[in-house]
Amino acid sequence: DAKTTQPNSMESNEEEPVHLPCNHSTISGTDYIHWYRQLPSQGPEYVIHGLTSNVNNRMASLAIAEDRKSSTLILHRATLRDAAVYYCILRDFPSGTYKYIFGTGTRLKVLA
């Protein structure tokens, strides 16, 4: 399974944009990039996913580098409720493996 590397922690001020980076230099052509977040005392929550093109949804945007060796999750206006651990995960659907391999993620702290 391809690995991802994320900073252990980041801080942001409330109502400012946050860019959470993820490196995945060994990504294969069929790996999808998934982002989940985990709020305190809750199970992980799906945020967004993509393959090659940048993606937007109501929660966030995902910017994928042209060589796909890195990606960035963008929260456009951080709120206190966005304080969580954010996980970047690669998932290879065509192989038939449906499990996620989580790393330790990035703990985002949002300052009021």
Choose between 12 and 87: whose C-beta lies nearer to other proteins. 87
Whose CA is closest to 59, among 72, 74, 70?
74
In the complex, the residues that contact other proteins under the rule CB under 8 A are: 32, 34, 41-46, 49, 85, 87, 93, 97-105
CB of 93 to other proteins, least distance (A): 5
Amino acid letter, residue 50: G
CB of 21 to other proteins, least distance (A): 17
Tokens of 56: 């937007």
Choose between 25 and 95: whose C-beta lies nearer to other proteins. 95
CB 61 within 8 A of CB 55: yes
Q: What is the DSSP letter of 67?
A: T
